[in-house]
Amino acid sequence: MQIFCTGSSGLVASDFKKLVQEKGIKFIGLDLHGEKESADITNLESFKKIVEKNLDKKQKAALFHFAAFTATGKNLSDKEIELCQKLNVEGTKNVLKACEDLKIPMVHISTDFVFSGGKKRSPYLPSDELCPDETYYSQTKAQAENLVWEKRDTQHVNIMRLAFPYGNFSHPKMGLARKIMTWMEERPEVNLYDDQQICPTPIEFISRSCLKLAQLIESEDILSGVILHVVGQQITPFEFGNLIKVIFDKKAKLNPTKAIDTYKYMVLSTKETEDILGFKIPGHRQALKALRSKVYNRF
């Protein structure tokens, strides 16, 4: 088995890389930074050449497409808007084309934000219609998903939706837990929504799920077009912050506040995904305690 991965130096993908290499599986990082060779998904010709050069045709392969512009705010500059479109839509189109030409199964990494404009108050199913909000991130990730979905009958594609990853504290980019911890360390009081339902996800769980999916692709035990929800348990940011406060012994006061002018419910159903992957999603208390042990054992 050989695993290609775009955005391999990112917060989540770098942890996936570590797990794959620990298992002795060939990992080919495709990134502008942090790899032996720079790979630009916005240039189809050069990107395809790099993949083809590293492809061992005697081994089965899978490509995990993590690379994306991930700023979720509303106030992006013109340059950021252009980059968002270029990476999330045009880049995905190029990765799809390269995988089609080289006959490599592709796993598109997506997000719960494809539902951030929705009105549901029950968990979103993998089969639910996308309902992005007006932000460029949400819109472009939905467009990218549609591009991938349209190819499900002509090449092997899967979609994996993630939400608010946390963990991998050694990475320069902060996930949700480290952001909240940093706020607690820098401020005497921290306001967190108590009426917003989200699914923060331990990064180690994402990596384990990606590896299992790669193995299912290798053994041809998963069909093209299957959408997976690899997310953590439902919780409010205020509840999540209180867990962090207790487990990491932080002193800041946490204040519950209301989510105004933003999404209130972005819960993804994981039942189908748990059945496919064969394991349950971890609880946040358990995951945060494991993360605390790992962090403190480094010092």
Query: Which pLDDT score is estimated for 297?
Result: 67
pLDDT digit string, tens, across residues 109-149 = 999 999 999 999 999 999 999 999 999 999 999 999 999 99
**Strand order across the beta sheet in which 26-30 lies:** 26-30, 2-6, 61-65, 106-111, 157-162, 227-229
Does an H or E element contain 109, and which? strand 106-111
> Residue 43 is which amino acid?
N
Q: What domains sit in the chain, N to C, each tagged with a CATH number?
A: 2-168+200-233+268-281 (3.40.50.720)
Amino acid at 214: A
For the cut 60, the answer to whether the pLDDT of residue 298 exceeds it is no
Looking at every residue in the chain, the average pLDDT score rounds to 97
pLDDT per position as a tens digit, 192-214: 999 999 999 999 999 999 999 99
Confidence of residue 164 (pLDDT cuts 50, 70, 90): very high
**What pLDDT is attached to residue 294?**
86
Distances (CA, A) of 4 to 29, 98, 201, 211, 234: 6, 12, 23, 12, 31
pLDDT above 90: residue 278: yes
Task: Provide the phi-psi class of 278: left if phi over 0, else alpha when psi is between -120 and 50, else beta.
Answer: left
Q: What is the pLDDT of residues 231-273, one digit of tens each?
A: 999 999 999 999 999 999 999 999 999 999 889 999 999 999 9
- CA distance readout (Å), 39 to 51, 86, 87, 133: 9, 15, 13, 31
Strands 227-229, 157-162: pairing kind: parallel
State how far the Cα of 252 lies from the Cα of 4, in Å rounded to an integer: 42
* pLDDT for residue 26: 98
Please give the angle made by the CA atoms of 247, 254 and 135, to the nearest 5 degrees.
100
- Give pTM, 2 decimals: 0.97
- In 3D, which of 230, 258, 213 has the Cα closest to residue 161? 230
Q: List, in sequence order, every residue forming a beta bridge with 113; answer none if it has no partner.
A: none
With a cut of 60, say whether residue 299 has pLDDT above it.
Answer: no
Q: What is the pLDDT of residue 36?
A: 82
pLDDT of 50 > 60? The answer is: yes
Confidence band of 154 (pLDDT split at 50, 70, 90): very high
Percent residues over pLDDT 70 in the chain: 99
